[in-house]
Amino acid sequence: MTVAIEENRVRFSELRMEGVTRRFGPAVALDRIDLRIKGGEFLALLGPSGCGKSTALNCLAGLLPLSAGEIWLDEERIDGLPPERREFGMVFQNYALFPHLSVRKNVAFGLAVRRMGKAETARRVDDALRLVELTEHAHKLPGQLSGGQQQRVAIARAVVLRPRLVLMDEPLSNLDAKLRVQMRTEIRRMHQDLGLTTVYVTHDQEEALALADRVVVLRDGRIEQSGTPEEVYTYPSSTYIAGFMGYRNLLEMPVVSKDGGRVTIADRELRLTGVPQEKITGAHAVAAVRPEDFRLADGTSEKRNLLTVRVEVSEFHGREVAAEGVTGDGHVVHFRLPERVAPGSRVELTVPEERVLVFGESPGPEED
């Protein structure tokens, strides 16, 4: 699909947020954010509810004034510009379509506001509708469309304006799982075909990893980690990020030894050796392990990282069973099994040392 590509080619080389801060009364929603977004990049802002994602997006869009800091688009300072002068397109979670206007009129709305001529408007709207594959539905009202189709109208309405930057705030969260995955692919395709620069807000790590060139994880209004999906997934910089990236097991225990690039932490029964991700100085450390990295021990070959758990829950997930067990000293362990095991039975698990990441800090916000 090559509709309207030419006019949409990347329009700037870098957008910079410098010390961007936003307060709501005494609360600091964004705390001195420094972020560079390259023209053509697909950047995901990821984090749990309340970490400041929407605030960051609204500050970029000009819908919220900054409390401090600056936003630059190459050599142009834009944080004082009203939203319409920034030439950004926005796609929201709730689509925000006009219910009484047809699909075509919804898409044309922004162009009408800009007093664009009839012929040019028609050409651009046709292009945008073709791009989102809604040409045949152009005459319908939003209420006559499915959720996914409505979301595509919202996207067409944003891209028809040839925005310098597209801002998306959880655009897929109201869709069912199958449609979400389908639309995800569509959004990525459009980003590439149109040469857009996209900032995409989500709390869904899978969505962020699948879509983005770069993932920025926010925590309490600050950037906790920024990197390619591969980097953030493979080398989480903290237990907070690890927890977000599928390291469901965050096991805190006393440190018993450190040698040869490995750290061993142990309780009465559970003992894990892994790779330190930072300098371990405290008496306790945390082992982060993904459930899928545990496997059943075959009883002979492994000597380290063996653990016995009593199975509490096992859920059928198609190809495998997701299970939860407890060690003799009370640590809850999440793991996967090839088949269902009755609650109460004991299984012996093992995990390779290089798949155990050891962090010095405690998991969970209460313990920071």
What residues make contact with ligand ATP under the rule CB under 6 A? 24, 27, 29, 47, 49-55, 203
Phi, psi of 57 (to 5 degrees): -65, -40
Beta carbon nearer to ligand ATP, 215 or 357: 215
Which own/partner pairs from 29-35 qualify as long-range (CB within 8 Å, at least 24 positions apart)? 29/55, 29/221, 30/55, 30/56, 30/59, 30/221, 31/220, 31/221, 31/222, 32/68, 32/69, 32/222, 33/69, 33/221, 33/222, 33/223, 34/223, 35/216, 35/223, 35/226
Closer to ligand ATP at the Cβ: 5 or 63?
63
Print burial letters for 18-54: b (CB count within 10 Å at least 16), e (below 16): bebbbeeeeebbbbebebebebbbbbbbbbeeebbbb
Work out how close the CB of 65 gets to ligand ATP at its nearest, in angstroms, rounded to a whole number.
12
Q: Whole-number minimum distance, CB 170 to ligand ATP, in Å?
A: 7
Which residues, in sequence order, are CB contacts of 321 under 8 Å at separation 6+? 314, 315, 336, 337, 338, 339, 340, 341
At closest approach, how far in Å is the CB of 166 from ligand ATP?
17
* CB closer to ligand ATP, 160 vs 201: 201
Nearest to 188 by CA among 212, 206, 169: 212
Find the shortest distance in angstroms from Cβ 292 to ligand ATP: 27
Of 49 and 301, nearer to ligand ATP (C-beta) is: 49
* CB 283 to ligand ATP: min, Å: 33
Q: How many residues does this entry show for the chain?
A: 368
Min dist. Cβ of residue 91 to ligand ATP (A): 15
Q: Which is nearer to ligand ATP, 27 or 119 (CB)?
A: 27
Instruction: Give the H/E segment covering residue 206.
Output: helix 205-211
The residue (of 184 and 336) whose beta carbon lies closer to ligand ATP is 184
* Ramachandran angles phi, psi of 327, nearest 5°: -80, 170
Q: Which is nearer to ligand ATP, 24 or 98 (CB)?
A: 24
Q: Find the shortest distance in angstroms from Cβ 71 to ligand ATP.
A: 16
